Amino acid sequence: MIVLGIESSCDETGVALVETAGTRVPALRAHALHSQVDMHQAYGGVVPELASRDHIRRVLPLARQVLGQAGCALSEVDVVAYTRGPGLAGALLVGAGVACALGAALDRPVLGVHHLEGHLLSPFLSRDPPEFPFIALLVSGGHTQLMQVEGVGRYALLGETIDDAAGEAFDKSAKLLGLGYPGGPALSRLAQQGDPAAFKLPRPLLHSGDLDFSFAGLKTAVLTQVRKLGDELDRRKADLAASTEAAIVEVLVKKSLAALDASGLRRIVVAGGVGANRLLRAQLDAACARRGVRVHYPELDLCTDNGAMIALAAAMRLQAGVQAASADYAFDVRPRWPLASLTEG
Ligand code: KG4
Ligand code: ZN
């Protein structure tokens, strides 16, 4: 079975083809991506209307590119998958509209996928795929969650951020340091030249005894330091970046270990854009190696938003029999959609 997947929830248009055979993990045939980062950079963040318009421009050329790369005819596609939510309503409607139009024209069923389920399952396309059950640390621009994953479609929420997401903390701090948008990767690069112990920044909820996160206070602490430094900021910027990254990463690692301890599981999957962060990977790998816990990541190019994870999640849902693709082309997107609500019963 060949699944065409379309991602358009935020600022990347992604299209991919995966192929399933029996019960084997679906194989990625081809994927293509267009990032809108350059376009939104001038505004310091994503402009939803511009995002939607750009998805419209990109999605069909990307689909043609992917079909060409895979040597696959459009008529060979069995199911068309799209990101149904969460995300920007207008942006989601582009992918959903195109997927449903393709499905109707080809007389093939469609399947709307949860964006975070895509992230969470994306390590199955890596060279070192996980096995169920596992703990998942989902760290993106909009979400920070710890989930217990028993199988496809069986997700229990263990803890989440009560305010800003980890990616948001990176992005907002980076903006305060004048590093542009999205600031996560830039802040992380600058941090390599700085001293992570130079500034004492808060580790919110580190000892709260639960698995929730809070990052809003950190951004305020960074702002306070920026104001205090004044003209000195340029000279100390790398130190402040390193201290910020260290604070975010320490909380993510400690809470992940607490989730592993509480569940008794020996396997963790890290997914979402912040999962590309080098310090997070190094510290989590070291802590997990000491405890005999296996850590799985998506390949680096599939850490941030992409179409491959959407095609994969659809294919795995179909394989596991948790959802059937549908010929109801009345697409409805869900800009707000809790992942745990996918679990039935
Ligand atoms: O998963 P993603 O591509 O989009 C959402 O679904 O939100 O995540 C984007 C987030 C942004 O906040 C970006 O700054 C962050 O991931 N990010 C990073 C790194 N690469 C991406 N944060 C820290 N270090 C990185 N290397
Ligand atoms: Zn994402």
User: How distant, in Å, are the alpha carbons of 4, 16, 245 from that of 76?
Assistant: 10, 14, 46
| For the chain, percent of residues with pLDDT exceeding 70 | 99
pLDDT above 80: residue 344: no
Point out the ligand nearest to the CA of residue 35. 1
Strands 27-35 and 12-19: antiparallel
Chain mean pLDDT for the chain: 96
Measured distance CA(321)–CA(258) in Å, rounded: 32
Intrachain domains 2-121+302-342 and 132-297 with the same fold: yes
Q: Whose CA is nearest to atom 22 of ligand 1?
A: 184
CA–centroid distance, 186 to ligand 1, in Å, is: 11
**3-state SS track over 127-144:** CCCCCCCEEEEEECCCCE
Q: From ligand 1's centre to the CA of 182, what distance in Å?
A: 8
- Ligand 1 pocket, mutate which of 304, 306, 337, 339 (most atoms under 8 A from CB): 304
CA distance 97 to 93: 6
**CA–CA distance, 313 with 124 (Å, rounded to integer):** 10
* CA gyration radius, the chain: 20
Q: Of 117, 101, 56, 111, which is closest to residue 78 (Cα–Cα)?
A: 111
Whether omega for the bond prior to residue 298 falls within 30 degrees of 0, making it cis, is no
- Mutation probe of ligand 1 site: the residue of 164, 170, 218, 253 with most atoms within 8 A of C-beta: 170
- Quote the CA–CA distance of 244 and 239 in Å, as a whole number: 9
Q: Which residues line ligand 1 (CB under 6 A)?
A: 10, 140-142, 167, 170-171, 182-185, 188, 272-274, 276-277, 304-305
Bridge partners (DSSP) listed for residue 19: 2, 27
Longest Cα–Cα distance in the chain: 63
Q: Note if the bond before 204 is cis, omega within 30 degrees.
A: no
Structural element, H or E, at residue 31? strand 27-35
The minimum-distance atom of ligand 1 relative to the CA of 182 is: 14
Give the distance (Å) from ligand 2 centre to CA of residue 129: 19
**In whole angstroms, how far apart are CA 83 and each of 98, 115, 145, 161, 301?**
11, 6, 19, 23, 18
pLDDT band at 22 (very low <50, low <70, confident <90, very high): confident
Among the residue ranges 23-27, 99-103, 190-194, 281-285, the one predicted with the least confidence is 23-27
| pLDDT tens per residue across span 184-212 | 999 999 999 999 999 999 999 999 999 99
- Distances 41 to 35, 106, 181, 331 between C-alpha atoms, Å: 11, 37, 6, 31
pLDDT, residue 345, reads 55
pLDDT band at 258 (very low <50, low <70, confident <90, very high): very high
DSSP H/E element including 268: strand 267-271
Ligand 1 atom index nearest CA of 115:
6
Q: How confident is the model over 32-39, as a mean pLDDT?
A: 96
Other beta carbons less than 10 A from residue 197's beta carbon: 10
Cis preceding-peptide flag for 26 (omega within 30 of 0): no
What residue spans define the domains of the chain?
Answer: 2-121+302-342, 132-297
pLDDT band for position 6 (cuts 50, 70, 90): very high
pLDDT band at 16 (very low <50, low <70, confident <90, very high): very high
Kindly report the backbone phi and psi dihedral angles of residue 31, in degrees, each rounded to the nearest multiple of 5, phi listed first: -150, 150
What's the average model confidence in pLDDT over 72-89? 98
Average pLDDT over residues 307-328: 96
CA distance 67 to 52: 23
Q: Whose CA is nearest to atom 8 of ligand 1?
A: 273
pLDDT tens figures, 262-317: 999 999 999 999 999 999 999 999 999 999 999 999 999 999 999 999 999 999 99
User: Looking at domain 2-121+302-342, does it have CATH number 3.40.50.720?
Assistant: no
Q: How far is the CA of 165 from the centre of ligand 1 (A)?
A: 10
DSSP bridge partners of 110? 80, 326
Nearest atom (ligand 1) to Cα of 272: 1
The pLDDT of 218-234, averaged and rounded, is: 97
- CATH no. of 132-297: 3.30.420.40
The pLDDT value recorded for residue 175 is 95
Helices (H), the chain: 37-41, 48-70, 89-106, 115-121, 166-176, 183-191, 216-229, 233-263, 278-291, 308-320
Ligand 1 center to 128 CA (angstroms): 22
Q: Which atom of ligand 1 is nearest to the CA of 304?
A: 3
The confidence band for 261, taking pLDDT boundaries of 50, 70 and 90, is very high
pLDDT of residue 182: 86
Residues 6+ apart with CB under 8 A from 265: 133, 134, 135, 148
What's the CA-to-centroid distance between 171 and ligand 2, angstroms? Answer: 14
pLDDT score at 180: 85
Query: What is the reported pLDDT for 343?
Result: 86
Residue-level pLDDT at 330: 87
Between the CA of 168 and the centroid of ligand 1 the distance, in Å, is 8
